[in-house]
Amino acid sequence: MIVEMRTYRTKPGMRPRFLEIFRSRTVPEHAALGMRILGPFPAVEDPDTFFFMRGFPDLASRERMKAGFYEGDAWKRELEPLLMPMLEHYDVVVVDDPGNLIHW
């Protein structure tokens, strides 16, 4: 399994609104494409940071599923213009979970 470990920092005070939209709109869109989401996990000591993991069966499906999401109507027409202005920064680290240690 391939896992993206994602760290997001919102603009000050925007995390609650971002997470509301993330949970209600983004997670279902990911699930419809077969992506697994673990989280989000709000940082305890930083009110503007949160983490989540996004899982894929393999690298080939990761590319296909990401394209389906980022090229789709929901992202292009609704989510991207709504969410991206709320973000200050994000990082993604792609890791391999060959032993399937992460249980979704």
Per the structure block, which two tokens stand in for 98? 């060959």
Distance CA 31, CA 38 (A): 11
Is residue 101 a part of any domain in this protein?
no
Per the structure block, which two tokens stand in for 7? 């760290």
Q: What is the DSSP string of 63-100?
A: HHHHHHHHTSHIIIIIIHHHHGGGEEEEEEEEEE-TT-
51's enclosing H/E stretch is strand 49-56
Is residue 88 a part of any domain in this protein?
yes
For residue 89, what is the domain's CATH number? Answer: 3.30.70.100
Q: Model-level pTM?
A: 0.90
Is residue 104 a part of any domain in this protein?
no
Predicted confidence (pLDDT) per residue in 45-83, tens digit: 999 999 999 999 999 999 999 999 999 999 999 999 999
Range of the domain at 15: 2-96
Predicted confidence (pLDDT) per residue in 11-22, tens digit: 999 999 999 999
Q: How many domains does one find in the chain? A: 1
Is residue 32 a part of any domain in this protein?
yes
- Mean pLDDT for the stretch of residues 26-50: 96
